[in-house]
Amino acid sequence: MDFLKAIKNRYTTKLYDHSKRIDVGKIQKLQEILTLSPSSINSQPWEFVFVSDAKTKEQLSKVSQHNTQKVLDCDTVVVFRSIDNLSTFKNELSERLPEYALGFYNDFAEQHSENDVKTWMDKQVYIALGTFLSACASMEIDATPMEGIEPKAYDAILGNDDYRSILAVAIGYRHEKDVNQLHIKPKSRKKITEVVRSI
Ligand SMILES: Cc1cc2nc3c(=O)[nH]c(=O)nc-3n(C[C@H](O)[C@H](O)[C@H](O)COP(=O)(O)O)c2cc1C
Ligand 1 pocket test, candidate residues 147, 150, 178, 180, most atoms within 8 A of CB? 147
CA of 146 to the centre of ligand 1 (A): 7
Average pLDDT over residues 2-22: 97
Is the shortest distance between the CB of 151 and ligand 1 below 6 Å? no
Residue 1 has pLDDT above 80, yes or no: no
Is the pTM higher than 0.75? The answer reads yes
What stretches of the chain show up as alpha helix (H) in DSSP? 3-9, 24-35, 54-61, 68-73, 86-96, 99-111, 114-138, 151-158, 192-195
Per the CB < 8 A criterion, the answer to whether 14 and 180 are in contact is: yes
Ligand 1 pocket test, candidate residues 12, 13, 129, 178, most atoms within 8 A of CB? 12
- Ligand 1, atom 5: closest residue by C-alpha: 146
User: Residue 65 CA: which ligand 1 atom is closest?
Assistant: 8
Quick: pLDDT tens for 40-75. 999 999 999 999 999 999 999 999 999 999 999 999
Percent of the chain with pLDDT over 70: 100
Q: Which amino acid is at 132?
A: F
Is the shortest distance between the CB of 149 and ligand 1 below 6 Å? no
Which domain, by its residues, includes 92? 3-195
Question: Residue 7: exposed, middle, or buried by beta-carbon count in 10 A (0-12, 13-18, 19+)?
Answer: middle
Please give the Cα distance from 137 to 131 (Å, whole number).
10
Domain CATH number, residue 25: 3.40.109.10
- Ligand 1, atom 16: closest residue by C-alpha: 12
Band of pLDDT at residue 129, cut at 50, 70 and 90: very high
Task: Give how many domains the chain has, as a whole number.
Answer: 1
Band of pLDDT at residue 93, cut at 50, 70 and 90: very high
